[in-house]
Amino acid sequence: MSYRGGIDLGGTKIQAVVIDDDHEVAGQSRRPTPTKGSPADVASEIAAALEEAAAGASVETSALIGIGVGSPGKVDDSAGTVTGAKNLPGWAGSFDLRSALEEACGAPVALGNDVQVATDAEFELGAGRPYQSVLGVFWGTGVGGGIVLDGKPWLGRDAAGEIGHVVVKMGGAECPCGRQGCMEAYAGRLAMELRARKDVERGEKTQLFKIMEERGRTRLTSGVWSRALDRGDELAERLIERAVRALGAGVGSCVNVLDVEAVIIGGGLGLRLGQPYVDRIREAMEPHLFANENPPAVELAALGDLGGAIGASLLARHLVRS
């Protein structure tokens, strides 16, 4: 049996997995992403997480056939660099993540876009297996998209799949990206939190921030939203309904352009809220679908929150030791 490593590098957490030849998870580890320091500090945490995951699989990281990393920011696998990863500390510039990890782990490293590798994982091993064309929708802090057409990732000039910034309302809500009316301005968790804070300032009542404190959080995490919905919190319900409507319009627009066989919904909020909300998004899409006699399948991501790391590990399959 040979093993490969996979890393899902996020703004909140680093998820590491070690995967065997049958794509089974042999070891895993999760660490918080450093909020201070430099890219080198993040690389050290990645290496530490991978070491723990490898220990779980009873292998050394140096024995892995390779390590794949799904990263935010601009990823250049040929150069080995990640540039402008704004959610990560001190990472506005370019950092040679490959060299840092190869030195720390003793195995070859391949880099990919976080959202695209998660889509590839669902396509190859998860909810996308029956289909040849898939749109991955990652509903979390932002709304990311990954595209597979005719069995292959479509990356464009490296910036395809930015579905969070599809315009759903000209002149509409301000998006954390600085633009107006993006789908993410309504559906991204960060934008929803900013909106909830404003609504509270205006005197609206909600349990969202009370639940946040009870859970020892400093942000409205997916779990906080989910609990607020369970308690019937009206503001939470209204903002989630607004998010679902925006996802219906924005993802529906993407389907009108791409006409994929399937839409797969993942991401922190998507996974947490689960199938009932996948169904609501499907219903919210319907009025916008031009070819509405032939809608795509809309499915919940099947690999859960390990999907990104598993997808990253797929990048390592074709690595050869130098």
Return residues touching its own copies (CB under 8 A): 133, 145, 147, 149, 154-170, 172, 177, 179-181, 245-246, 249-250, 252-254, 256-261, 287-288, 290-291, 294
Q: Write out the E strands in 272-320.
A: 297-300
CA dist., res. 56 & res. 254, Å (int): 40
**Shortest CB 192 distance to its own copies, Å:** 16
CA dist., res. 120 & res. 144, Å (int): 14
**Shortest CB 299 distance to its own copies, Å:** 16
Measured from the CB atom, is 111 or 143 closer to its own copies? Answer: 143
Measured from the CB atom, is 75 or 260 closer to its own copies? Answer: 260
Measured from the CB atom, is 40 or 257 closer to its own copies? Answer: 257
**Shortest CB 153 distance to its own copies, Å:** 11
CA dist., res. 160 & res. 119, Å (int): 13
Measured from the CB atom, is 104 or 166 closer to its own copies? Answer: 166
**Shortest CB 212 distance to its own copies, Å:** 29
Measured from the CB atom, is 156 or 203 closer to its own copies? Answer: 156
Measured from the CB atom, is 167 or 200 closer to its own copies? Answer: 167
Residue 185's CB: how many other CB atoms inside 10 A? 27
**Shortest CB 169 distance to its own copies, Å:** 5
Q: Enumerate residues 6+ apart whose C-beta is below 8 A from 113.
A: 70, 71, 75, 146, 155, 158
DSSP state, residue 7: E
**Shortest CB 185 distance to its own copies, Å:** 11
Residue 322's CB: how many other CB atoms inside 10 A? 5
Contact 77, 101 (CB under 8 A): no
Q: Enumerate residues 6+ apart whose C-beta is below 8 A from 291.
A: 256, 259
**Shortest CB 270 distance to its own copies, Å:** 18
Residue 129's CB: how many other CB atoms inside 10 A? 12
CA dist., res. 250 & res. 237, Å (int): 20
Measured from the CB atom, is 173 or 302 closer to its own copies? Answer: 173
CA dist., res. 243 & res. 16, Å (int): 30
